[in-house]
Chain A
Amino acid sequence: MDTSDELLLDIQHLHTAFRVHDHFYDAVDDISLTLHKNEILALVGESGSGKSTLATSIIGLHNPRNTKVTGDIMYNELNLVGLNEALFNRIRGNDIGMIFQDPLSALNPLMRIGEQIAESLVYHTKLNEKEREARVLQLLEQVGIPDPPLTAHQYPHELSGGMRQRVMIAIAIACKPPIIIADEPTTALDVTIQAQILDLLEDIQKEIGSGILLITHDLGVVAETADTVAVMYSGQIVEQGSVYQVFEHPLHPYTRSLLRSMPQADSDDEELHVIQGTVPSLVNMQRTGDRFAPRIPWMPASSHEEHPVLHEVEPGHLVRCTCYKTFYFPDEKEAAAAGAPQNANEGE
């Protein structure tokens, strides 16, 4: 990606609230993000942090009776927030391709693979039937299906998980959309197939120059593929930056905790780091102060801002709250007491 690349999506102060017992609760709480052509932006965070909610807000898949979306999602002068359904239908598939986490539930079990791919071509292109057929086979070939004519005639249940995910990608890229949203595209797959799918996404991106919003909770996948990273916790972005900034110089206690809880290839029988407490549910989510504070109870209240905001610690690298400046892990305390350098004032 290049900083001069064209801006595709400009999300500003997005709120997405769900109705629960007659109250609306923000699952996405004031998120601002941009996606450029040729960029892979990774969205990471634990289950329930609001990643899929953000994705489905962009493609307008929420039921308006139970969901309130406010803020702006600008796509080429067009605000996707509050866009009418007719316009959205033209944008979905054509301008924004979506790859879902669970291909089996996203594919129609009663329809042959070929027909499902052709469907979006019927809707968004002027290709005739013959041309559509050719394009379907070409797409299946492009996503690495070994025998396209055979697979085109099969039903989803006849394919392996990896093949189904490839079919989902074929559908998502059928109209060469400038934006691709991939929600956990490889979570259900094993590593060798995951590697193939990620390579495939990168190849496609190189070919059609799309911007990709990649949602995952696999930090290895992020480190290998993303240009930029946004870390979400409780509906907010807590840290954001280039993949190098976030992985080589992680600052927010949440990012640092996540990295620490990974089984490290080279450390032996050690206990893994566990983040205390649990991710709060939508209704029980803390709305004031630092939302991550209850998970790091050893940090004094004075280390947190009253109304935590994102601070730009270096160009492009944003961190929420000032607590990162003094943050340490409990087992580092002894080291600190013994005079070893601590993490204070990092990034300043």
Chain B
Amino acid sequence: MSLIEIKDLNIHYPIRSGFFNRITDYVYAVDGINFDIEEGETYGLIGESGSGKSTTGKAIVGLEKVTSGQILYNGQDVTNRHERKKIKYNKDVQMIFQDSMSSLNPRKRIEDIIAEPIRNFESMTDTEERDRVKELLDIVGMPSDSIYKYPHEFSGGQRQRIGVARAVATHPKLIVADEPVSALDLSVQAQVLNFMKQIQKEFNISYLFISHDLGVVKHMCRNLAIMHRGRLVEVGTREDIYNNPQHIYTKRLLAAIPKVNPSGREADKAHRREVEREFQDHQDKWYDKDGKVFPLQQITATHSVALPPDEVTQIKSEVG
């Protein structure tokens, strides 16, 4: 049994229009996805903007209403609010938000921001609480006098670390980290990533690590899923995805990463253009007649790809 099991998750937003404001269509933000997160592991979720990553993450922490499907936590169904409440799920599962500035209340002091989840789930005296907040600030490498300050008095990296401190305040089992370092400088990014790894070892935390930076994901995650148009196009270990990508969309994503190697750049660009051309020319082969991603097909014990039905046997025989 995994820590988290996502089973055929669907989140559809209604589109309303016309005089009666009737529902005329749906945005299939998340359109039937399955994956598991093991205890203590970092699972990567990658995809272009609008592919449904944040919606998936928010559904897991209970911030987004699930249209259909199931979320299991240690085998228990936590898809709806009553079930989550019963087992204090919201204490165990926290989120670091994509945009640290808008997710920290500008009118609250850092002390209150970090203490908020503690107040929701634990009963502590004021001194206990303050000690805990200072300890958390220390864990994320911030001075203890930060508690009296407001979010705007900190840099982006510091705010992101405050977001991390708040997320770990209740000793969660899982943290959904939505683009936790995308807005940060290299050096601060390194600091936050090292720190996330360190507390993971210390407290055996699992992460769902959402990002569009494939270099960062490669550094952080052993298993990952590539998401496109609300579905998963490819799932596998780091090696499966980076060394043996099968879906054209995955290949395109990998080819687009700029490399720190100026002397190889003409070759890299040529390769990128070639993949792009293949993507443009053969898109219809890789998506069904409605432009949807095909269902995932398992090609090895760890590696699944959303292959067109007639490709499956061929690729299986090549890979297997």
Q: Name A162's closest neighbour in chain B (CB-CB).
A: B49
The answer to whether A263 touches B216 (Cβ under 8 A) is yes
The answer to whether B186 touches A258 (Cβ under 8 A) is yes
Cβ of B274 under 8 Å from chain A = no
- CB-defined contacts of B49 to chain A, threshold 8 Å: 160-162, 189-190, 193
Q: Would you list which residues of chain B between 169 and 196 have a CB under 8 Å from chain A?
A: 185-191, 193-194
Query: What per-residue 1/0 map shows which CB atoms of A51-75 lie under 8 Å from chain B?
Result: 0000000000000000000000000
The answer to whether A261 touches B189 (Cβ under 8 A) is yes
Q: Bound complex: CA of A248 vs CA of B264, how far in Å?
A: 11
Q: How far is the CB of A162 from chain B (nearest CB, A)?
A: 7
Q: Would you list which residues of chain B between 50 and 69 have a CB under 8 Å from chain A?
A: 50
Cβ of A299 under 8 Å from chain B = no
The answer to whether B262 touches A219 (Cβ under 8 A) is no
Most A Cβ at <10 Å: residue of B212, B215, B219, B255 = B219
Cβ of A47 under 8 Å from chain B = yes
Q: Would you list which residues of chain A between 136 and 171 have a CB under 8 Å from chain B?
A: 160-162
- CB-defined contacts of B252 to chain A, threshold 8 Å: 192
Instruction: Report if A194-B256 is in contact (Cβ < 8 Å); known contacts: A243-B262, A265-B218, A271-B197.
Output: yes
Query: What per-residue 1/0 map shows which CB atoms of A250-282 lie under 8 Å from chain B?
Result: 000000011101111100010111110011000
Q: Name B260's closest neighbour in chain A (CB-CB).
A: A223
- CB-defined contacts of B191 to chain A, threshold 8 Å: 274
- CB-defined contacts of B212 to chain A, threshold 8 Å: 190-191
Q: Bound complex: CA of A265 vs CA of B241, how far in Å?
A: 13
Q: Name A242's closest neighbour in chain B (CB-CB).
A: B262
Q: How far is the CB of B279 from chain A (nearest CB, A)?
A: 9
Cβ of B129 under 8 Å from chain A = no
Most B Cβ at <10 Å: residue of A192, A193, A198, A225 = A192
- CB-defined contacts of A193 to chain B, threshold 8 Å: 48-49
Q: Bound complex: CA of A278 vs CA of B187, how far in Å?
A: 9
Cβ of B312 under 8 Å from chain A = no
Instruction: Report if A195-B215 is in contact (Cβ < 8 Å); known contacts: A224-B268, A224-B269, A261-B186.
Output: no
The answer to whether A221 touches B258 (Cβ under 8 A) is yes
Q: How far is the CB of A163 from chain B (nearest CB, A)?
A: 11
The answer to whether A248 touches B263 (Cβ under 8 A) is yes
- CB-defined contacts of B218 to chain A, threshold 8 Å: 263, 265
Cβ of B134 under 8 Å from chain A = no
The answer to whether B186 touches A217 (Cβ under 8 A) is yes
Contact residue among B50, B188, B197 (Cβ-Cβ distance under 8 Å from A160): B50
Q: Name A189's closest neighbour in chain B (CB-CB).
A: B49
- CB-defined contacts of A272 to chain B, threshold 8 Å: 189-190, 193-194, 219
Q: Would you list which residues of chain A between 256 and 313 have a CB under 8 Å from chain B?
A: 257-259, 261-265, 269, 271-275, 278-279
